[in-house]
Homo-oligomer: A and B are copies of this chain.
Amino acid sequence: MYMENQKDTNDRTCTHTSQNVSSLADLLPAMDGDTKTMTFLQEVVDILMAYIVESFDRETKVIDFHYPNELLQMNNWELQDEPATLDDILISCRATLKYAIKTAHPRYFNQLSTGLDMVGLAADWLTSTANTNMFTYEVAPVFVLLEYVSLKKMREIIGWQDGRGDGIFSPGGAISNMYAMLLARFKMFPEVKEKGMSSVPRLVAFTSEHSHFSIKKGAAALGIGTESVICIKVDESGKMIPADLERRIVEAKQKGFVPFFVSATAGTTVYGAFDPLIAISDVCKKYNVWMHVDGAWGGSLLMSRRHRWKLDGVDRANSVTWNPHKMMSVPLQCSALLVREEGLMQNCNQMHACYLFQQDKHYDLSYDTGDKALQCGRHVDIFKLWLMWRAKGTIGFEAQIDKCLELSEYLYNKIKDREGYEMVFDGKPQHTNVCFWYLPPGIRYMEDKEERKKHLHKVAPVIKARMMEYGTTMVSYQPQGDKVNFFRMVISNPAATFEDIDFLIEEIERLGQDL
């Protein structure tokens, strides 16, 4: 049904456009290219607007799924020596969107980043049009100021006095976490910048066994090594156990290693757990270790008066990762690293490239922030956050976040005692993560526990594959430790409603009852 509808639209638009659109050579910067450029861009915008409306429509599929080899055959994706016509370009745009995931769809729950905010989208279109680079005030005056204003506001919300400190928008939470580790190392051993790791004792970092894999990835890249990332035990609900942290720090010191970095997680990827930041900060203070909070997923709860207690103690951190592209639904990518100490990032990363950061410019050079980054060119990620914040106000973000948490509580209450469901951990979830097994009737009463586990492990992947083939909804699953594959439902999409949660449960049962 969906397919037919889409084909109709495609054909209609094709006929329409072939009458209007000219060739590439007629577009700007061609002389008198204005009108033809506007016609072409308007055609594209019409395609995008149709896609947007469709994406929010529950009658539309979340995905029109095809296997990679099929999809490779379904269109001519190869790059050629010769140019295509502009009509062909419009056809390519339609084909690309036809097979795209509708990430704005109210029933798309697959990732921590879902939804599509209309003001955020408008801001991203403007960003593309401005097409500039964050390295200097000279080429991005407004965006550099907006980054300054927004980072300060985020630091105020964290609770650092007068919003003082530093920070940067980076290409994603993994890189933000890597920055934090880099800063912690430099703070303790500034000579590492020139002399490398061979000049320092063996450094060790600590994070919970449920933390994000980017901590280990960062340690590998930074020449620290994954074996020097010590995984701290978590309790039943996935929170780091501070006593185990202290024990492992003492143990490392006894071995002659130097603990330099603790990454506490505010909102783990799978369970949505918030590590106890106050207790962890006490340990960090006692042993003089840099405390980082990876709030990529949970940091946005700071915007909610009802939920920010879950991050109590975050103001004691030395650095905080906070991704507005997750729980605040800012378009991808938008990740911030906030740092308590001013000047440290600059000292850690600067290389004084005189062809970019000339010291004899005619304006205040403190706005040329590029040299504190690992990147040289840096994409403008700030405007979409800033414009959405302006449109919603802090209270608008708060309402949006509170609503997602209500939805997840509704889901939790709905399934916790429902026949055929088992929760992965007890108690109300702290974030929007609801982790559960669905047990099809056939295995619900199996007596052999090992046999039951083996069967159960295969249930979620099959239901997920069917969801994608029907295209009705998408939700993630994974094993964790000795727990076999379970569903991890997360809600960050402001388009989702109670009815969508009901639909998800009905769909899981419809697709899984025969397994």
| Residues of A139-160 whose CB lies within 8 A of B | 139-143, 145-146, 149-150, 153
Copies in the complex: 2
Q: Which residues of B contact A51 (CB under 8 A)?
A: 129
B354 touches A480 (CB 8 A): yes
What 4 pairs across the A-B complex have the smallest Cβ distances? A223-B223, A196-B225, A29-B495, A197-B197
Report how far A103 CA is from B244 CA in the complex, Å: 54
Contacts of A178 in B (CB 8 A): 221, 374
Kindly specify which of A42-50, A310-318, A420-428 makes contact with the partner chain: A42-50
**B-chain residues with CB within 8 Å of residue A270 when the two chains form the complex:** 355
Does B126 lie within 8 Å of A139, measured CB to CB?
no
Rounded to whole Å, the gap between the CB of A514 and the closest CB of chain B is 17
CA distance A141 to B471 in the complex (A): 14
Question: With A126-B44, A331-B131 in contact, is A194–B226 under 8 Å at CB?
Answer: yes
Q: Does A248 contact B (CB under 8 A)?
A: no
Judge whether A13 is part of the interface by a CB distance below 8 angstroms.
no
Chain B residues within an 8 Å CB radius of A263: none
- Residue of B at shortest CB range from A269? B355
Q: List 18 A-B contacts (CB under 8 A).
A: A27-B119, A29-B104, A33-B56, A40-B118, A83-B396, A89-B119, A93-B387, A97-B126, A101-B141, A103-B132, A128-B128, A171-B379, A193-B225, A195-B227, A213-B376, A222-B223, A223-B224, A325-B377
Identify 16 new A-B residue pairs, CB closer than 8 A, beyond the known A175-B375, A217-B349, A332-B379. Answer: A29-B104, A44-B126, A83-B395, A86-B391, A92-B390, A95-B142, A101-B141, A124-B128, A133-B332, A171-B171, A173-B377, A195-B227, A196-B202, A270-B355, A333-B377, A360-B461
Within 8 A of B (CB), among A178-195: 178, 182, 192-195
Binding stretch for chain B, among A1-9, A106-114, A230-238, A279-287: A106-114
Q: Does A174 contact B (CB under 8 A)?
A: yes
CB distance from A243 to the nearest CB of B (A): 26
Which chain A residues numbered 416 to 468 have a C-beta less than 8 Å away from chain B?
Answer: 458, 461, 464-465, 468
Asked if B89 and A116 make an inter-chain contact with CB atoms under 8 angstroms apart, the answer reads: no
Cβ B174 vs Cβ A377 within 8 A: yes
CB-CB under 8 A from A137, the residues of chain B are: 68
Of the listed stretches A73-81, A405-413, A504-512, chain B binds A73-81
Q: Do A101 and B71 touch (CB < 8 A)?
A: no
Whether the pair B478, A354 counts as a contact (CB closer than 8 A) is: yes
- The complex places the Cα of A195 from the Cα of B226 at a distance, in Å, of 7
User: CB of A322 within 8 A of chain B?
Assistant: no
Q: Given A56-B29, A126-B44, A133-B332, does the pair A153, B79 have CB atoms closer than 8 Å?
A: yes
Number of residues in A with C-beta < 8 Å to the partner? 165
Distance between A197 CB and nearest chain B CB, rounded to angstroms: 4
Residues of chain B within 8 A (CB-CB) of A126 are 44, 47-48, 93, 96-97
Query: Is B461 within 8 A of A362, CB to CB?
Result: yes
What's the minimum C-beta distance from A151 to chain B, rounded to whole angstroms?
Answer: 11
Known contacts A358-B477, A393-B83: does B141 contact A71 (CB below 8 Å)? yes
Task: Name the residue on B nearest A384 (C-beta).
Answer: B128
CB distance from A167 to the nearest CB of B (A): 15
Q: Check A61 for interface membership: any CB of B closer than 8 A.
A: no
Q: Which of A338-377 contact B (CB under 8 A)?
A: 348-349, 351-356, 358, 360-364, 367, 374-377
Docked CA distance A474–B138 (Å): 10
Task: Assess the A221–B106 pair: CB atoms within 8 A.
Answer: no
Quick one: given A89-B391, A103-B130, A351-B217, are A227 and B196 in contact (CB under 8 Å)? Answer: yes
Nearest residue in B to A195 (C-beta to C-beta)?
Answer: B225
CB distance from A396 to the nearest CB of B (A): 5
Q: How far is the CA of A65 from the CA of B178 in the complex (A)?
A: 35
A99 at the interface (CB under 8 A from B): yes
A51's nearest neighbour on chain B, judged by CB, is B129
Q: Report B-chain residues with C-beta under 8 Å of the C-beta of A38.
A: 49, 53
- Given A52-B129, A77-B149, answer yes or no on A194-B139 (Cβ-Cβ < 8 Å): no
Q: A40-B118, A125-B45, A174-B375 are in contact. Are A389 and B96 (CB under 8 A)?
A: no
